[in-house]
Each structure stands twice: as structure tokens, then as C-alpha cells.
A and B are shown apart, each in its own frame.
Chain A
Amino acid sequence: MTHTSFREDAFTLDVDYIVVGSGAGGATAASALARGGAHVAVVEAGPWRDPEHYPHSMYGAMRDLFDDWGAGVAQGRALWPIVQSSCVGGTTVINCAICVRTPADIFDQWEREHGVAGGSFRDTMWKHQDALETELSAELPPPESLGRNSELALIGAKALGYESHVMTRYTKRCAGSGQCLQGCRSERKQSLNLQFIPEVLAKGGHVLSCAPVHRVLLEGRRAVGVTGRFRHPQTHKKGGTFTVRARKAVLVAASVTHTAPILERSGVKNPMLGLGFRAHPGTGVFGIYDDVVDMNKGATQGWASMAYRDDPGFKLETLSIPPEMLSSRLSGVGQELMRRIGEYRHIAMWVLAVRAESVGTVHNGLFDRSVVKYGFNEADMLRLRKGMGVIARTHFAAGAKKVVPGIFGLPYELTADQLSLIDEGPLDPRAYIAILSHLFGGCVMGKDPARSVCDESGRVHGYEGLLVADASVIPTNLGVNPQHTIMALARTFVDRLLEA
């Protein structure tokens, strides 16, 4: 069992397979390779933080777990932050471990529009998802851990008569500590730094942390390794050079914002590289209740609804945020802001993730920073606005006395008879406080090499021993949380790689 963290001197290693990144795709691919008997090196840009290292505060989370302090934004008409992690385990450390199977319509769409995922692909993916659900203990939160925030959402949706449910998540008896975003110190969340990465080590693999890959080493059209320089997790200073050589293949799973830029820096030639970036932009609406909600007591996310996934295209969820986030999310300053924060214990926060049709790009920029360009078209703005209206109505159906939509130009809070203001709200994305959470594309898979970067086995067209094994390959939006799909794809790709 070998782990190499930041070091000042040069480091070299030879293995069968290199996996760049240790998030949902990377960790799953690496464990599958290790189970197949291969000697694997996982090369992760961020540090390895165990639960005892996890931060308590959101400041600590941004400093210790978030990629680039959470400073990444999608450039478009509005600047919307991109939320993902940079540490061993990737975003599985800071997400809410929501487990949703890849919907059947997605495979149909991939086959129809991209010529992939036909035949037995869907069955293979679902078979892997069966196994993953068992291995990662996918379960509903215990009723005592659900929290009032989610209970109210169930009440509201039932009153309005639309489908909703308690979420299935990769957790073992969720303690309801409301700390998903800072990493689960109680180790109930089955993030992949606790699951698959230790398995890779136990099977003789190697993990390099604090090791951002600068480029994949190519000999002609064959990938033979990766190189970069260690980066200190505290000072951000560069350390020694690392070079890992692969006898068989390099799998890049560095996240949607990094995989395509790494391939660009490596000299991979493909006109589709960096294109097809998609996301689920999300925003929330607060409900203010007479009774105490205490949204930070209970599962950070415990409730969801897919009732609007197909038409008009959004998913609803609960989300609890700590006071240090809420204080900036509520509008106003000074005495007025303090008065509004005083209602914290009575606030429930529900969010939507838009199944957006907008498409952007992700490329390598100045100083090797990833540059995401993503505009949000009018149809998607209509979906966003519609979703906010549904959330607001659900709040009132659950007993809220007012809602806080957080839309620029609208009053701070609205009563039930003012909801038309949301329905007719602005269509300018700059009027909304939103984030991009689920990202897709940049190295999309497809049958036609002229319209895609990878094939349906994750192999980069025109190159040997070079694969992509993260959400970068996903050619469409999913309309559901992507972790389960990403992990199943990684396993499918590794199956095919080992068979070959």
C-alpha cells in the first residue's frame, strides 16, 4: 500500500494503468482495474483528507476541499460559480451522495443522437449500478435523520399532488448532521476516498495526491504516461516533478473542467475537444415558516421530485446551507440583513436543477486555468423561472407564510398572492443567484469521430491507450444527479478495456 503526497524532489513510477483523478469516475475506474489484477496509479490534483482532516466551517471547506477555493465560474452573460472538489475522492467528498439510476430515455437519446449505448450497453450499465448500490450502501435516510426541511417538502408536494420522494443516497445510516458540504465527519456518507481508493491501495496500487497532471505523455498517437509538478495544499507552491509511466493505458477522469484542458495541453488533436459542455444550473427559493425548521439539522439533502424532469425539465431537491452561506445569499445589508438572518431557524431551502439545453465550451486558458464559457438560453431561463414558481407554491402548500426568491428586481419576500411576480420574473440570467453543479461534456462520446472525442468505450478516437472515464464523455444532459451514471460508465469502460 503506497501513497505519495506532496514532495519537493522528483518522483517517478511505472505501472500498468494510470487514472488521472479520483472522483466518481476515477476512483471507480481505478478500483475496477485493481480488481482485475492490474497495477494502478491514481494521480489526484488535490490532497488526501480523511474524515478527521475534514473542515467544520464553510471557509474551511472552500479552502481545503473545493477546487480552486470555489472560484471557478462559467463565463457567460452571468457569472455562475462551478461547484466541485479537489481532493482524493473528488466531488463525492462534498456532494450529498445522491443515487439515481440512469434513466432509460437517456440511453435511447445517446443511441439516437450519438450512435452509442445501443445493444447491451444499457443492461451493462444497470448491472453495474445494481452492484454499486450494494457496495456503497445506497439507502434512504433513517426517518429520524431526514430533517424538517425535507419533511415540509414532502408535505407541500403531496398537497399539490405531484410526485416526490425521500432520496436514496450512498450512506450508511445517515446521522443527519447536515455536514455533507464540508465532508461527512461521521463517515456515514460513502465518499470514494473512504471506499474505492483504499481498495486500490489494498490491491497493491499507488496513489499520488497533491499531484495535478499537467499533461499526458504521448509517443506518437500512444499515451505512455503523465507528468506534472506536486502542489502544496496549504501554500499552493510547486514542488518536485512527478512522472508516471503507463505500460498499458492512461484513463483521464479529472472532471469536466479539467479533463478536456489536460488533453489540449497534451497535444491531443480533435476538433470536438472542449465542446459540448453542459450543466444542470441550479438555484433555490427559501420558505419562511412560523415553526422552527432548523434546516441544518437532518440530511443536507433528503427530498427530491422528478415530476418535472421531462416537462418542462427540472429536478427539485431540498438543500440546507450553514449560516455563513445564508448570510450572503440573503439580500440586504446592515440592520436589515441582520433582521433577515434572524429568521434562519424558520427558513427551509429547496432548490431546482435545470435540465438545460444550453451548450458551452471548456478549454485550457492562460496559466493553464480551465476556461468554461456557458450561456443560458431563453428556453432554459423559462425552465428556471418555472421551477422557482413550483418551489414557491410548494412552500406555501407546506405552510410557509412567505418566500424569498432571491431574484434581482423583485421584492425580498413574497406572499402567496404575489407569486405571479416569479412567474413573470426577468429572463436575464444576471438577475438570479445560481450555480452549476452537475457538469457534462468536453470529451463527448459518439460513434462518429468527426462529432465526438471518445467512442462508447471511453477510448479517445485516433489514439492508443488513452481513455476518458468521467462525466466529460456524457454527450447530453441527464436530468438526474450524475454520480451513479459516471461510476457505471467508468466500470463499463474498464470492463471493455480489460477484455481488450
Chain B
Amino acid sequence: MVTLYPRTEAFPGLEDTGIDEFLVRFRRESTFLIYVGVLLGTFLFHWSTLLTVYIPLPAFMLPAGLREKHASRVLGSRIYLLRQAVFLVKLVAGMCWGADARVREKLGLPPQPADPGTWRQS
């Protein structure tokens, strides 16, 4: 996920936006199907390098530059289900990254308070 949203001069990277805590929360709060979908997308991302950069190593073992090249190619893959599965990972990672106050500030948006997660109980 960090490969998808790296730190740049303009923006904080995903690793700066609390992705670890986000994923713990995501695992707890999401539905089984969504979580399995993200796991599957992550698995396919790591084990499809042979199709993209022609190297028989999982993506997490690739150097950063090559891993980004792989990420770009896998999201542009002609295999629809492969790119859709990785797209789901990108979507979920984007939920964390795009909601970060520093990212929003750079985009001219105010910070968001925490989602209350409450409902009417009586």
C-alpha cells in the first residue's frame, strides 16, 4: 500500500498517515467479504511480479523503484480481475491517505473530525 501512496515533496506518504492503526480498525470494522477482497488483492499484488516486471520474487522483496513499476503495471494489467483486485487495495489505502488532515490541508480542505460511529439507540 505504501508503494501506491509514497511520501513526496508535496504530500505525506501513506506511512505518515497512520496506515497501521487504520488497517487494524479496518480489519475490525469491515465486513468479511471486503476484508477478504483486500487480502486477495494484496496477495495478488505481491505474487504477480512475474507478469509485470518478469522477476520471480514477491513484490515486497523488490527494490522500491521496481516495486512502483510493478504496481503501475499491475493496475494497468489486461487481466481485468487482477487489476480490479489491486484497485480495491488502492481504494482502501486511499481512504486512509485522503482523509489525513495534512493531505487535506495541501488540497485546500479543512481537517475532518473523527467519525462518531454512533447511532440512535432508543
Q: Which residues of A contact B (CB under 8 A)?
A: 3, 5-6, 47-50, 52-60, 62-64, 68-69, 71, 78-79, 88, 209-210, 233-234, 236, 292, 294, 296, 322-328, 331-339, 341-342, 344-345, 408, 430
Which residues of B sit under 8 angstroms from A408, Cβ to Cβ?
Answer: 76
- On whether the beta carbons of A63 and B5 are closer than 8 Å, the reply is no
Which residues of B sit under 8 angstroms from A49, Cβ to Cβ?
Answer: 118-120
Which residues of B sit under 8 angstroms from A344, Cβ to Cβ?
Answer: 107-108
Give the residue name and chain of the A residue nearest to B90 (CB). A328
A338 in complex: contacting residue of B11, B96, B99, CB < 8 Å: B11
> How big is the B interface, by class?
35 or more
B21 at interface, CB cutoff 8 A: no
Expressed in whole angstroms, the Cα–Cα distance for A338 and B11 within the complex equals 7
- On whether the beta carbons of A58 and B95 are closer than 8 Å, the reply is yes
Q: Which residues of B contact A (CB under 8 A)?
A: 3-6, 8, 10-11, 29-31, 33-34, 37, 68, 71-72, 75-76, 80, 84, 87, 90-91, 93-99, 103-104, 106-109, 112-122
Expressed in whole angstroms, the Cα–Cα distance for A210 and B113 within the complex equals 25
What are 15 sample pairs from A and B whose C-beta atoms fall under 8 A apart?
A5-B121, A49-B118, A55-B115, A59-B95, A59-B99, A69-B30, A324-B96, A324-B97, A327-B94, A333-B72, A334-B4, A337-B5, A339-B8, A341-B11, A430-B80
Expressed in whole angstroms, the Cα–Cα distance for A54 and B117 within the complex equals 8
The residue in A55, A69, A322, A323 that gathers the most chain B C-beta atoms within 10 A of its C-beta is A323
Which residues of A sit under 8 angstroms from B116, Cβ to Cβ?
Answer: 52-55
Expressed in whole angstroms, the Cα–Cα distance for A335 and B90 within the complex equals 14
Report the number of A-B residue pairs with Cβ-Cβ less than 8 Å.
141
Give the residue name and chain of the A residue nearest to B32 (CB). A236
Expressed in whole angstroms, the Cα–Cα distance for A52 and B22 within the complex equals 23
Q: Contacts A5-B121, A47-B119 given; indicate if A294 touches B108 (C-beta within 8 A).
A: yes
Which residues of A sit under 8 angstroms from B113, Cβ to Cβ?
Answer: 56
Expressed in whole angstroms, the Cα–Cα distance for A332 and B72 within the complex equals 6
Give the residue name and chain of the B residue nearest to A321 (CB). B98
Q: Contacts A53-B118, A294-B108, A334-B3 given; indicate if A68 touches B94 (C-beta within 8 A).
A: no
- On whether the beta carbons of A5 and B97 are closer than 8 Å, the reply is no
Give the residue name and chain of the A residue nearest to B31 (CB). A69
CB distance from B103 to the nearest CB of A (A): 6
A3 in complex: contacting residue of B72, B118, B122, CB < 8 Å: B122
Expressed in whole angstroms, the Cα–Cα distance for A78 and B108 within the complex equals 35
Which residues of B sit under 8 angstroms from A339, Cβ to Cβ?
Answer: 8, 10
Expressed in whole angstroms, the Cα–Cα distance for A5 and B119 within the complex equals 9
Which residues of B sit under 8 angstroms from A234, Cβ to Cβ?
Answer: 29, 117
Expressed in whole angstroms, the Cα–Cα distance for A370 and B5 within the complex equals 34
Expressed in whole angstroms, the Cα–Cα distance for A323 and B102 within the complex equals 12
CB distance from A57 to the nearest CB of B (A): 4
B115 in complex: contacting residue of A3, A48, A56, A328, CB < 8 Å: A56
Give the residue name and chain of the A residue nearest to B35 (CB). A69
Expressed in whole angstroms, the Cα–Cα distance for A344 and B75 within the complex equals 21
- On whether the beta carbons of A345 and B107 are closer than 8 Å, the reply is yes
Expressed in whole angstroms, the Cα–Cα distance for A334 and B2 within the complex equals 8
- On whether the beta carbons of B80 and A78 are closer than 8 Å, the reply is yes
Q: Contacts A294-B108, A334-B3 given; indicate if A236 touches B31 (C-beta within 8 A).
A: yes
CB distance from B26 to the nearest CB of A (A): 8
B98 in complex: contacting residue of A325, A336, A430, CB < 8 Å: A325
Which residues of A sit under 8 angstroms from B109, Cβ to Cβ?
Answer: 296, 322-323
- On whether the beta carbons of A47 and B68 are closer than 8 Å, the reply is no
- On whether the beta carbons of B98 and A326 are closer than 8 Å, the reply is yes
Expressed in whole angstroms, the Cα–Cα distance for A88 and B76 within the complex equals 39
Give the residue name and chain of the A residue nearest to B98 (CB). A324
- On whether the beta carbons of B34 and A323 are closer than 8 Å, the reply is no
Which residues of A sit under 8 angstroms from B119, Cβ to Cβ?
Answer: 5, 47-49, 53, 64, 209-210, 233
CB distance from A86 to the nearest CB of B (A): 11
Known pairs A332-B72, A333-B3; list 15 more (Cβ under 8 Å).
Answer: A50-B120, A53-B116, A53-B119, A53-B120, A57-B95, A63-B115, A88-B120, A323-B107, A324-B95, A327-B90, A333-B4, A334-B6, A334-B68, A338-B5, A339-B8
Give the residue name and chain of the B residue nearest to A428 (CB). B80
- On whether the beta carbons of B34 and A69 are closer than 8 Å, the reply is yes
A327 in complex: contacting residue of B34, B84, B97, B114, CB < 8 Å: B97
- On whether the beta carbons of B120 and A48 are closer than 8 Å, the reply is yes
Which residues of B sit under 8 angstroms from A60, Cβ to Cβ?
Answer: 115, 117
Expressed in whole angstroms, the Cα–Cα distance for A210 and B72 within the complex equals 41
Give the residue name and chain of the B residue nearest to A341 (CB). B11
Expressed in whole angstroms, the Cα–Cα distance for A294 and B76 within the complex equals 28
CB distance from B25 to the nearest CB of A (A): 9
Give the residue name and chain of the A residue nearest to B118 (CB). A53
Expressed in whole angstroms, the Cα–Cα distance for A341 and B68 within the complex equals 17
Which residues of A sit under 8 angstroms from B96, Cβ to Cβ?
Answer: 59, 324
The residue in A5, A62, A68, A328 that gathers the most chain B C-beta atoms within 10 A of its C-beta is A328
Expressed in whole angstroms, the Cα–Cα distance for A286 and B96 within the complex equals 23
Which residues of A sit under 8 angstroms from B84, Cβ to Cβ?
Answer: 79
CB distance from A333 to the nearest CB of B (A): 4
